Structure 1
């Protein structure tokens, strides 16, 4: 793992999903999503890149929070938007 990966991982912490029932922005807009992603820096729940609005990626881009985890039942993986890689 590179130093950059280590730095990005250092931004993760135990979080509580802010909107466990769905994508924060899609819920506000009344929009649909495909899959959900949980920001491991602040607990934002956003929709995946297969969703129309890609709110998880947008959140990472505007906040600098690089790593999300799947917020889907039975899935346990993390993704770094900066490196476009599983971590």
Structure 2
């Protein structure tokens, strides 16, 4: 079986954008709640995950085409590429 190589979007990361504010601004605007948070590695905005009612991180990807998010959860160290559907730890 061939070994899968890391996608170009993940390989291109030189630093991981993080957040000091553990909120989804889009959920705050609508009075909604979230489960977990993801930080866009292109623009640095933090949105809620797909387990959250509004799935703002994925909506942000579809609107902006920014391909990679990282977990914004304390203690989690991973990134996800929406385009290639690949995850990597860091």
Normalised to the residue count of structure 1, the TM-score between the two structures is 0.82
Report the count of equivalent residues.
83
Structure with bigger helix share is 1
Q: Where do residues 26-45 of structure 1 align in structure 2 (5 Å cutoff)?
A: 26-45=27-46
Which ranges of structure 2 fall in alignment gaps of 5 or more residues? none
- Aligned-residue CA RMSD in angstroms? 1.9
Higher Cα radius of gyration? 2
Q: Find runs of 4+ consecutive structure 1 residues off by over 6 angstroms.
A: none
- Aligned residue for 1:22? 23
Normalised to the residue count of structure 2, the TM-score between the two structures is 0.79
> Distance in 2 between the 1:65 and 1:11 partners?
13
- Aligned residue for 1:58? 59
Which ranges of structure 1 fall in alignment gaps of 5 or more residues? none
